[in-house]
Structure 1
Amino acid sequence: MRIMGIDVGEKRVGISVSDLMGWTAQGLETVSRTEDDGWLRRIGELIREYEVESIVVGLPRNMDGSIGDKGKACEVIAEDLKQRFSLPVKLWDERLSTMAVQRTLIEADMSRKKRRKVVDKMAASWILQGYLDSQRRNTHD
């Protein structure tokens, strides 16, 4: 059973997918978020290609845990994905995921230009991996 992870940004959407066992997340690609629904069509293509059975969308929360405008926009997108693809969609707290990925890439001495190309799909992978790890912990408790 594969799970897709999505990091929704204002300009780009990072996409990741789990392995078949649901243990690890791999970044797939970054899609430009356009005014039309081309980016949603691409997500649909990836859902079919990887036989995705559920989706995890990063939910940006404020540091106090509240949900601001970006979080509310992600909730709307999550509901749209649920309706459009008839799949279960879960929201996952993504606080600091992009910052953590940026820090990792900077420590790896990656150039700013290269970081821009991979940060969104890596953030999606970070979000999905956190979700997968929590599911494994919950089944072993």
Structure 2
Amino acid sequence: MPESRSLMAFDFGDRWIGVAVGQEMLGRGSGVARLKARDGIPNWEEIAKLVETWQPDLFLVGLPLNMDDSETELCHRARKFARRLHGRYHRPAEMVDERLTTHEAKQDLFDRGETPDYAREGVDRRAAELILETWCAAQH
């Protein structure tokens, strides 16, 4: 039976970071924020507020691998972001293969008929939801 850990997932990017939360037992994510980042560096106070509000047991950070499994510079930055989450909030952080999540998120929003303005914001949140759901599916 799945555990009931609270999860917080991040779709890490240089300019924007999507955030989703969920319960491992349910296996579903809900997008809660799209945070501005500068060269991959977020406003840590905003993340602290989210951590305080949602009290996650585990952080999940998307790893943007190339289709041939090779790593990009963004992979190194995402790993660094995960280490900082762990160091600041003393909770484990795991990397999750996020290949094609942004593409899938865009398609999901298009299929729902979302407006272009919402879609721009919604993609990062939806990608974070997909990262969380991908991790949950791999656990069970």
Q: Give me the TM-score of the superposition, normalised by structure 2.
A: 0.89
* 1:117 has 2:125 as partner: no
3-state SS, counterpart of residue 27 of structure 2: coil
The Cα offsets for residues 15-49 of structure 1, whole Å up to 9 and x where unpaired, read as 001137352211111111147x6622211211121
1:20–1:60 Cα change, 3 Å? closer
3-state SS, counterpart of residue 25 of structure 2: coil
2:47 aligns with one of 43, 62, 77: 43
* 1:9 has 2:13 as partner: yes
CA RMSD of aligned residues (A): 1.8
1-10 vs 100-109, which moves further: 100-109
Residue 8 of structure 2 contacts residue 22 of structure 2 at CA under 8 Å; is this kept in 1? yes
Greater percentage in helix = 1
Q: Percent identity?
A: 26
3-state SS, counterpart of residue 91 of structure 2: coil
1:22–1:47 Cα change, 3 Å? farther
* 1:100 has 2:104 as partner: yes
Unaligned ranges ≥5, structure 2: none
* 1:71 has 2:82 as partner: no
Q: Which residue of 2 aligns with 1:82?
A: 86
Q: Give me the TM-score of the superposition, normalised by structure 1.
A: 0.88
2:138 aligns with one of 118, 134, 137: 134
Tell me the distance in 2 between the aligned counterparts of 1:71 and 1:92: 11
Unaligned ranges ≥5, structure 1: none
Moved over 6 A (4+): none
* 1:91 has 2:95 as partner: yes
Tell me the distance in 1 between the aligned counterparts of 2:106 and 2:24: 28
The Cα offsets for residues 85-108 of structure 1, whole Å up to 9 and x where unpaired, read as 111000000001001110121222
Residue 2 of structure 1 contacts residue 22 of structure 1 at CA under 8 Å; is this kept in 2? no
3-state SS, counterpart of residue 52 of structure 1: coil
Residue 109 of structure 2 contacts residue 122 of structure 2 at CA under 8 Å; is this kept in 1? no
